[in-house]
Amino acid sequence: MLDVRFHGHSSVQLTAEGHSIMIDPFITGNGQATTKLEDIQVQYILLTHGHQDHILDAVELAKANDATIVATHELATYLAWQGAKTIGMNLGGAVTLPFGKVKMTQAFHSSGVVLDDQKQIVYMGMPGGFVIEIGGKTVYHAGDTGLFGDMKLIGDRHDIDLAFLPIGDHFTMGPEDALTAAEWVKADYVIPIHYDTFPPIKQDGEAFVAELAEKDIRGKALKPGESLRLS
């Protein structure tokens, strides 16, 4: 049994068998979020890359929960300097944690922290996605990415129950490419992410899900705060 809760943008919480993890916490900076950060309880936080709309609340959430952050080596080191417990890893690698296994996949994007006051950008390692085994299910969170051919390989190598795919366009795949990604990944269920948060990534999640259905792929456009249970 796996409980999935969407917190908006790319922030997803997975809970099973007494374990709870958060991917890319972006709550306080997201005007669409319906959950308060202090109400979220997790043991692990997974970060796909170093952009602020994916890591903004990571350190605060980690400290409040005594949780461990899992991210690329550079990003994990940067957040450890801020007092968080971290596990650094890299693309293609995997770690086994109390809830299951986490493998980091590639993504085609960028990754860095912008320091406006200093007019500097700090490199945060390569962007990635995650294949997560939890609660007897396999979940693929693509992170921020464009369409790439090795998504076929991810679908071939893993029996994916649930995939989170960005559809916002502008910074990531748009709906058309995300439909192709959904076919390649071959997940039983697809949830669109990384859209509607800002004007440049405005998209129709329901229309995307309808197009998935035309390809005989199940999906749902969760609103911030909504949940889904996979049994």
DSSP codes of every residue in 43-87: SEEE-S---HHHHTTHHHHHHHHT-EEEEEHHHHHHHHTTT-EEE
- pLDDT score recorded for residue 64: 98
- pLDDT score recorded for residue 170: 98
- pLDDT score recorded for residue 222: 98
- pLDDT score recorded for residue 34: 96
Which tens digit of pLDDT belongs to each residue from 172-214?
999 999 999 999 999 999 999 999 999 999 999 999 999 999 9
Q: How far apart are CA 64 and CA 140, in angstroms?
A: 26
Q: How far apart are CA 89 and CA 32, in angstroms?
A: 31
- pLDDT score recorded for residue 93: 98
Q: Give the DSSP H/E element, type plus range, for residue 79.
A: helix 73-80
- pLDDT score recorded for residue 163: 98
- pLDDT score recorded for residue 27: 97
- pLDDT score recorded for residue 91: 98
- pLDDT score recorded for residue 85: 98
* Domain ranges (residues) in the chain: 2-230
- What is the reported pTM? 0.98
Q: Give the DSSP H/E element, type plus range, for residue 184.
A: helix 175-185
Quick one: how far is CA 195 from the chain centroid? Answer: 13
Q: Which stretches of the chain score pLDDT less than 70? A: none
Query: Does the 2-230 domain belong in CATH 3.60.15.10?
Result: yes
- pLDDT score recorded for residue 146: 98
